[in-house]
Amino acid sequence: MATALITGASSGLGYEFAKLFARDHHNLVLVARSGDKLAQVAAELRAQNVTVKTIALDLTATPTPKFLFDQLQSESVAVDILINNAGFGAFGEFAQMSNDEIFGQIQLNIIALTELTRLFLPLMLARRSGRIMNVASTAGFQPGPLMAVYYATKAYVISFSEALANEVRNSGVTVTCFCPGATHTGFAKRAGNDKSRVFKQLGAMNVERVALDGYRAVMEGRGLAISGVHNWLVAQSTRFAPRKMVTAISRWISEPIQ
Ligand SMILES: NC(=O)c1ccc[n+]([C@@H]2O[C@H](COP(=O)([O-])OP(=O)(O)OC[C@H]3O[C@@H](n4cnc5c(N)ncnc54)[C@H](OP(=O)(O)O)[C@@H]3O)[C@@H](O)[C@H]2O)c1
């Protein structure tokens, strides 16, 4: 049985990915900060006759990704599928944002994701088999006033993942970049943008639906997958519209409404 390592598996999309991998008989390594929530998820998924290992870690605390890698190596757990899903956003003007929020986003969304990829990819290449899915966002296709750092981190994830997918082509390993749009999870509340136009008025997608799109994308080895036709259309339109207009619209959808 193949083993999937999923970061941010205690809730939201990561939890849904875990359920899908368990359904299809994958052993799991689940990572997040909340050990109690991970234990609950593990108990639920073990009922499907898969092995579930939980590791409670804050991935923003260096050198956590290396610690995670070393622990799995010492237990001879080979990771066949890496799902770099853990991520968070913070709402507000950059100048007013705390250093914890600014650098925490960069640390989790960019550095931890890059480090885990750096650690696990060479082993996959040596085995000529493996799958990596990096969870970006439709936010990565344009600048995002009021969430400037978050949008920029997701632009990095898209660029990095598409470049890697090209580098590893024909190697037996695939790299998928998955881009959800607004989705009903704990994300908006943590980000502080649950009152934004995009979440309150334009509407967010169902988390199970979105996770299924991501699961299919990684299992098919697709390079880039955007969940939802409307999100795909918006992502395409940003390529042709003037940048200033794209940025203004991006701000408009992030603004809070009553
Ligand atoms: N929901 C959306 O609208 C949306 C849209 C586009 C993209 N995304 C992306 O989808 C991914 C999953 O987000 P979600 O919507 O499922 O949000 P979520 O419900 O808030 O889940 C985030 C997960 O990441 C874990 N996590 C957060 N900080 C962590 C840290 N420092 N170390 C380790 N784990 C950490 C959380 O668990 P603990 O709190 O237990 O650590 C949780 O399991 C993120 O990369 C997000 O950027 C979400």
Residue 215 falls in the annotated catalytic set: no
User: Side by side, which strands form the sheet with 224-226?
Assistant: 52-56, 27-32, 3-7, 81-84, 130-135, 173-179, 224-226
Mean pLDDT (whole number) for 12-18: 98
34 Cβ closer than 6 Å to some ligand 1 atom: yes
What tokens appear for 84 in the block? Answer: 């770099």
Going from the Cα of 99 to the center of ligand 1, the distance in angstroms, rounded, reads: 19
Closest ligand 1 atom number to CA of residue 84: 45
Q: How far apart are CA 78 and CA 14, in angstroms?
A: 20
Cα 31 to its chain centre, rounded Å, is 13
Q: Is the pLDDT score of 203 beyond 90?
A: no
Taking the C-alpha atoms of residue 150 and residue 146, their distance in angstroms, rounded to an integer, is 9
**Mind listing the pLDDT tens digit for each residue in 99-108?**
999 999 999 9
The 10s digit of each residue's pLDDT in 161-190 is 999 999 999 999 999 999 999 999 999 999
User: Given the DSSP bridges, would you call strands 3-7 and 27-32 parallel, antiparallel or unpaired?
Assistant: parallel
Catalytic residue among 15, 150, 151, 215: 150
Q: Which residue's CA is the nearest one to ligand 1's atom 24?
A: 8
For residue 144, how far is its CA from the centre of ligand 1 (angstroms)? 18
Ligand 1: centre distance to CA 85 (Å): 7
| pTM for the whole structure | 0.98
Q: What's the rounded mean pLDDT across residues 62-82?
A: 95
**In this predicted structure, what is the pLDDT of residue 258?**
79
Mean pLDDT across 3-23: 98
